[in-house]
Structure 1
Amino acid sequence: MPIRNIAIGRPEEATHPDTLKAGLAEFISTLIFVFAGSGSSIAYNKLTNDGAATPAGLIAAAIAHAFALFVAVSVGANISGGHVNPAVTFGAFVGGNITLLRGIVYVIAQLLGSIVAALLLKFVTASTVPAFALSSGVGVGEALVLEIVLTFGLVYTVYATAVDPKKGSLGTIAPIAIGFIVGANILVGGAFDGASMNPAVSFGPAVVSWSWSNHWIYWVGPLVGGGLAGVIYEVLFISHTHEQLPTTDY
Structure 2
Amino acid sequence: MAPVKYQEILIDEQDKSWGTLIKAVVAEYAVTTLFLFFTIGTVSSNCHTADNASHAGADKSLESAGYGTCFLGTGNVLNIALAFGFSIFVLVYCAASFSGGHINPAVTFGMLVARKISISRAVLYMVAQCLGACTGAGLVKAIDSHGWRAAGGGTNALSAGVSNAAGWGLETILTMALVFTVFAATDAERASDTAHLPVLAPLAIGMVVFLCHMVAIPLDGCSINPARSFGAAAVAGKWDDQWVFWVGPLCGGLIAAAAYEFLFRTKPNKSVAYPSSFDVEGGGKLPEVNAALPAFSGVEGLKEVKETTSSS
Q: TM-score by structure 2 length?
A: 0.73
Unaligned runs of 5+ in 1: 1-8
Q: 2:136 aligns with which of 117, 129, 132?
A: 117
What root-mean-square deviation, in Å, do the aligned CA atoms of Structure 1 and Structure 2 show? 1.9
Counterparts of 2:233 and 2:16, CA distance in 1:
27
Structure 2 counterpart of 1:13, which letter? D
Counterparts of 1:247 and 1:43, CA distance in 2:
33
- Residue 95 of structure 2: aligned partner: 76
- Residue 190 of structure 1: aligned partner: 217
Q: 2:111 aligns with which of 71, 92, 110?
A: 92
Structure with the larger helix share: 1
- What are the superposed Cα offsets for residues 81-101 of structure 1, whole Å, 9 maximum, x if unpaired? 100000000001101111111
Structure 1 counterpart of 2:299, which letter? T
Q: Give 1:4-19 correspondences, 5 Å limit.
A: 13=15, 16-19=18-21
- Residue 220 of structure 1: aligned partner: 247
Counterparts of 2:216 and 2:120, CA distance in 1:
32
Counterparts of 2:298 and 2:214, CA distance in 1:
33
- What are the superposed Cα offsets for residues 171-199 of structure 1, whole Å, 9 maximum, x if unpaired? 10111111110101111111101111000
Q: Give 1:27-38 correspondences, 5 Å limit.
A: 27-38=29-40
- Give the direction of change, closer, same or farther, for the CA distance of 1:117–1:217 in structure 2 (3 Å limit): same
- Residue 5 of structure 1: aligned partner: none
For residue 113 of structure 1, give the secondary structure of its aligned residue in structure 2.
Answer: helix
Q: Which moved more, 1:13-22 or 1:158-167?
A: 13-22
- Give the direction of change, closer, same or farther, for the CA distance of 1:88–1:104 in structure 2 (3 Å limit): same
CA contact (8 A) 1:151 1:225 kept: yes
- Give the direction of change, closer, same or farther, for the CA distance of 1:15–1:202 in structure 2 (3 Å limit): farther
For residue 103 of structure 2, give the secondary structure of its aligned residue in structure 1.
Answer: coil
- Residue 3 of structure 1: aligned partner: none
- What are the superposed Cα offsets for residues 63-88 of structure 1, whole Å, 9 maximum, x if unpaired? 11111111111110010010000000
Check if 1:235 corresponds to 2:286.
no
- Residue 140 of structure 1: aligned partner: 164
- Residue 74 of structure 2: aligned partner: 55
- Residue 198 of structure 2: aligned partner: 171
Counterparts of 1:133 and 1:103, CA distance in 2:
27
For residue 165 of structure 1, give the secondary structure of its aligned residue in structure 2.
Answer: helix
- What are the superposed Cα offsets for residues 132-181 of structure 1, whole Å, 9 maximum, x if unpaired? 10111111000000000000000000000013421332110111111110
Counterparts of 1:154 and 1:179, CA distance in 2:
9
Structure 2 counterpart of 1:29, which letter? V
CA contact (8 A) 1:31 1:113 kept: yes
Counterparts of 1:46 and 1:164, CA distance in 2:
45
CA contact (8 A) 1:161 1:177 kept: yes
CA contact (8 A) 1:132 1:194 kept: yes
Aligned length in residues = 241
CA contact (8 A) 1:164 1:238 kept: no
- Give the direction of change, closer, same or farther, for the CA distance of 1:236–1:164 in structure 2 (3 Å limit): farther
- Give the direction of change, closer, same or farther, for the CA distance of 1:107–1:214 in structure 2 (3 Å limit): same
Q: TM-score by structure 1 length?
A: 0.91
Counterparts of 1:58 and 1:186, CA distance in 2:
8
